[in-house]
Structure 1
Amino acid sequence: MSYVSAEGLTKTFKGRPPVTVIDGLGLEIEEGEFLVLLGPSGCGKTTTLRCLAGLESPTAGRISLGGRTVFDAANRINRPPDKRSIGMVFQSYALWPHMSVRANIAYPLKARGLKDKIKEGWVEETARLVDCEALLDRHPAQLSGGQQQRVALARGLVARPDLVLFDEPLSNLDARLRDSVRAYLHELHAKLGFTAVFVTHDQSEALALGDRLAIMRAGEIDQFDTPRQVFEKPATEYVADFVGMANRLLFERGADGWTCQGAPVAGAPPAARCSLGASGRLVARLRPEDVHIAPAGEVPGDGMTLLKGRVLESGYGGRHIDATLTLEDRDGAAAGDRLHVRVPLAGPGGWAGELAAGQKVAVGFRPADARFFDDDGEPSAASSDGGARPAPVGA
């Protein structure tokens, strides 16, 4: 039995018209697992988290935590948050400004009638775990953002809950501090082994923290898998776009061979082993670092699908150049969507440091680096890994 289970979870907000933000969602989380709900704003991830916490009442469905039913719409069971043995870490920290750090951390123990645990030193022990023991007598206004987040984490853990919920807890931190706290959180989970659900829209956070990822779209889960599988084999074009395959190339095969958004294609066929379906079209998704460029008239590399392009703009990124390109059709006019390219400055890409707007370049990619989809955003049949969209979670 899964430690956390949600079946047929639906949440509809009343209005004219009503808005359904979670639609029949199924979720299974194992004990000690760190699950990340990943998706853009409005996809339903925070509402899902709030339903697990008891802060929102679903319209339909069932939730169980540790084998105990905490919500069942059919049987009118709805345990309040303080009866669900959960800890929660909020995006805004939500620390009481008039309380000391010690009192903030102790608050869940008092709220649950566990005052004897305060005498046993649970507050100090938890503060020591998150490296904020020296801050216990300060107030939130005297702390930095990173220190406040550690206090919020201690408060979420102090009552030793069965489940810890994180609602985008790192989004208010600057980039350097966010990386530091993320690494610390990963280390803390490995040490304590708590079960967690973490909401974020940041794919780098999701990949670094999650044992598994649930990629959400419009209140449903598009893909539920390990970070590596999601990154390497996105199950839909929506997932591919969200995990960094920002470049979208539309290919068509005609009597004269392949074209890409009206531009002629040379070199390796873009998808020799993929089925085109009735439309004769195929969408390739690529990461910026998997698109290669070379000076016009040269070849970016062996075994590549080749196109012609023109630089729109470029920017210095330290050890690489980020450039935006447009493809050129047979008449030299711009064709299709823009391409984003990341070119390392070391080695063969060193010439890219002199890229200028309007400069013509050769463009290429290796078909093995692309993920191919049909018109409906589903993986093309007979693609190189044979992968298909997984069955719905809990099915």
Structure 2
Amino acid sequence: MRAFWEIFCTVVDNYGDAGVTWRLARQLVAEHGQRVRLWLDDLAALARLCPEADVDAARQWQVGVEICRWPVHWQPVEPADVVIEAFACRLPEAHVAAMVDRRRRVLWLNLEYLSAEDWVGGCHGLPSLQPGGLQKFFFFPGFTTDTGGLLRERGLIERRRAFQADAVARADFLRSLGVQACPGERLISLFAYENAALSSWLEAVASEGHPTLLLVPEGRILDDLRRWLAVPSLAVGDGQRRGALRVQVLPFVRQEAYDRLLWCCDFNVVRGEDSFLRAQWAGRPLLWHIYPQADGAHRDKLEAFLSLYVEGLPPAAAGALQELWRVWSAGVAMGPAWSALADQWPELRAHAERWCARQAARPDLTAALVQFYADWL
């Protein structure tokens, strides 16, 4: 069934909000043949992920998705069959009124942030009665069978495994970013928020006997990195060496290229929600820099995911991983935790692939949304 979907998104967390909704919109069109209109209040964020996007256009089409700037002063439009407010953004009141008046009823979904907390499964799919007789349903992405699943395109894992098995393809891709990896060099990607723990971690990596290449896309962590390197500035293409550690700054790349960067690396440090999930699909050990919240709520989310993720790991490996994530999130010294993790590397690498395969065996989020609409009808 071909339906008309519209997705509303206010960009709060840098590129994560735009990244998730852009992936969802593209997948609805490409894999399910749906018509999609994406409302964004910050087209500049989208343009970093999709360079073809015109930041000045009020309305445009990219890869079959209609993209509209969410105006400050709302102009009435006909509501879609399915209206998604992403991450609890507030729909224009006039649009909600139009949804009430529409002859064909509208499915209203609140697509929530990704979380592994226990309460998520109990709230997924619950309705909330709204004025005018509308019902809004809460749709929770998640890692368990009682949630809506995870964003994953068709054939993603197979493409990733084929790429990782092809040394020539990996080298060609890295060269396209200006990167020439040396034989035997461990590759680590770093995309994170500012973090006081960075210097202690990099000191530990630089003092190891194993040569490491740290690939750092443009982002908020660059100032911390510059201070540790004691250089006046860092720009795309710049490279520095400290001990066994070689550092190179990369351009901010589109989503598809970022996936391949993660696939190239042995260890990925990621942030937010979108890159966090893409690192899991890479099937490699990772470190998550969860978005810090003033009330400390991020710590509960971190612990909930860790509890789920380490299931099946031997105690030593589970403990090493948990400790590294906790000290990184707390911004405290990383050296001992990094050394402990290194001792568990083979087990953690095998576990990352097992985790990926287990999550990929479940229906993906976009398919679950389409099925939810069909069942609702």
> Rg larger in 1 or in 2?
1
Query: Which structure has more helix as a fraction of its residues?
Result: 2
TM above 0.5, yes or no, is: no
Q: Under a length normalisation based on structure 2, what TM-score does the superposition of the two structures give? A: 0.28
Query: Which structure has more strand as a fraction of its residues?
Result: 1
Q: Under a length normalisation based on structure 1, what TM-score does the superposition of the two structures give? A: 0.27
